[in-house]
Structure 1
Amino acid sequence: MDSGVGGLSVLAEIQRLLPNESLLYVADSGHVPYGEKSPDYIRQRLRHIAEFFQQQGAKAMVLACNTATVAAVADLRERYPQWPLVGMEPAVKPAAAATRSGVVGVLATTGTLQSAKFAALLDRFASDVRVITQPCPGLVERIEAGDLASAHLRQLLAGYVQPLLAAGCDTVILGCTHYPFLRPLLAEMVPADVAIIDTGAAVARQLQRLLAERGLLAQGPARESAFWTSADPENLRIILPLLWKKSDSVQSFAV
């Protein structure tokens, strides 16, 4: 699940690594962005979505959203102790290891950057590097609207990237699952020797490990991926071919 369509970037990594698994995806787009919601509100949404996944017979759940992970993953693990649950966190550790200049930039939502979990990541893995954080209001909303290349989006993204480059960042963390869809634009804006890091592939590997430990890996073949949204399903049908692939299996998720 994700607060919107950003988690499709993680879903792609999961399908790439685990092609035999049948995938269910809930875009809680009727409540996006999560970064402006209270932790209690987000926990209520995640409980609702988790119950839905259980009713669908899901054997594991991925919170493909940094804000949802911060607010709700501990609560869900307490409620579903036998259910493999995988959350997201910004790639601070690999970025700190990759930087040559000692300066790392983070593009993320305000909610992620203000969280105690993000602060703990910095304390644990980035004590020897300088981390420049850049909140990016508006980017999620543009991607949710299917905008990956407009002049307005370019101007917005450039305004967030330039301070990181000016500060000497040679490594940039994409701290929101929506942002990997902006990689082509970012590649035009940053020098070729600046590393751009996200955590989608690491999440897929963690899911694979947890399923293998429990003997839950599918032998295939996978069913067609199924999608639900708490917003207008037609919006998701329009955006899916841009971010994933065309699918007729888009249904309304009860708000």
Structure 2
Amino acid sequence: MSDRGFIGVFDSGVGGLSVWREIARQLPHEDIIYLADQAHVPYGSRQLTEVRELSIGITRFLLGEGAKIIVIACNTASAAALRYLRRVFPDVPFVGMEPAVKPAVEQSSNGVVGVIATLATFQGELFASLVERYAGDTRVLTQVCPGLVEAVEAGALDTPKTEALLRECLTPLIEAGVDQLVLGCTHYPFLRPVIERVVGARVAVIDPAPAVARQAMRVLARRGLEADPSTGPGRRRGRAGSHVFYTSGDAAAFAGMIEWLLPSTGGDAKVRAVRWQEGCLETRV
């Protein structure tokens, strides 16, 4: 890993890999560690206080491994814990997820936009503040979509059951006339082809992951923490930064999901197992 540290990224499961993908694309010289807390997936069905405590434990683990910045690649954890983490770790730069309400409102031609996310995301202060700040006269319709996170975790991206779940979730928004659809959970971009098939060409689907990667880039630049492309063990002779993945679940299964969801890794993803022990994460031997 780089002597300046690495980018730490975490989510409850594989969903945050959609954010990892964008960070790796936009910041190819950076070393990245991704942690999937699959022992507790999904976060969306858990109490906000529990998600906050899990996020603290993960942050401590990533900092102990040498993280220079933490990207919370989970809308639920961002809603539950982002402000709290910034208070607990005031010297650590954090980048969180937020539903892309602002661009959806700006791009809407009929003043009706939809957001799909977990209940925990909608219950957080962050979402309410975004709507209050940016919605104006635009109607922002929300829809909870039970079962989608579990479908992605199981690898059921384009199955009749998953499409049925999406149709049930999205039909009220389609009938209400939304012309912008915000993906408010990092698992959902992996369902984008099916989502676009269900909503049709009249509805633009917005994935916030590219904007999150750009924000991480800005924060690193502002703090002078960018990796030097010419140095570091993972970048000799112009090679890209190194990538390591951790999971609190089944390491072999997670490696298989990475290979499937992120073919760019070439099946060579380094996956290590961690476990929870009295509120702390530790590597499994």
The match for 1:231 is: 249
CA contact (8 A) 1:173 1:198 kept: yes
TM value normalised by structure 2:
0.86
SS in 2 for 1:6: coil
Higher relative contact order (CA 8 A, sep 6+): 1
The match for 2:131 is: 122
In 1: Cα distance, 2:181 partner to 2:257 partner: 26
Letter matched to residue 128 of structure 1 = D
1:5-16 equivalences in 2 (<5 Å) = 5-16=14-25
Query: In structure 1, which of residues 142, 146, 154 is the aligned counterpart of residue 155 of structure 2?
Result: 146
219-228 or 39-48, which deviates more: 219-228
Query: In structure 1, which of residues 171, 176, 180 is the aligned counterpart of residue 180 of structure 2?
Result: 171
1:35-114 equivalences in 2 (<5 Å) = 35-114=44-123
Letter matched to residue 127 of structure 1 = G
CA contact (8 A) 1:30 1:230 kept: yes
How big is the shift at 1:184?
A: 0.9
74-83 or 104-113, which deviates more: 74-83
User: Which residues of structure 1 form unaligned runs of 5+?
Assistant: none
Letter matched to residue 184 of structure 1 = P
242-251 or 119-128, which deviates more: 242-251
In 1: Cα distance, 2:192 partner to 2:65 partner: 33
Please say if 1:194 is aligned against 2:200: no
User: Which residues of structure 2 form unaligned runs of 5+?
Assistant: 1-9, 230-234, 277-285
181-190 or 242-251, which deviates more: 242-251
88-97 or 213-222, which deviates more: 213-222
Identity %: 48
How big is the shift at 1:10?
A: 0.5
How big is the shift at 1:44?
A: 1.3
In 2: Cα distance, 1:139 partner to 1:49 partner: 24
**What is the alpha-carbon root mean square deviation over aligned residues?**
1.2
Aligned pairs, number: 255
Query: In structure 2, which of residues 260, 268, 274 is the aligned counterpart of residue 253 of structure 1?
Result: 274
- Cα displacement string for residues 6-59 of structure 1 (whole angstroms, at most 9, x for unaligned residues): 000011111111100011000011101111212221121111111111121111
Letter matched to residue 129 of structure 1 = T
How big is the shift at 1:248?
A: 4.0
SS in 1 for 2:58: helix
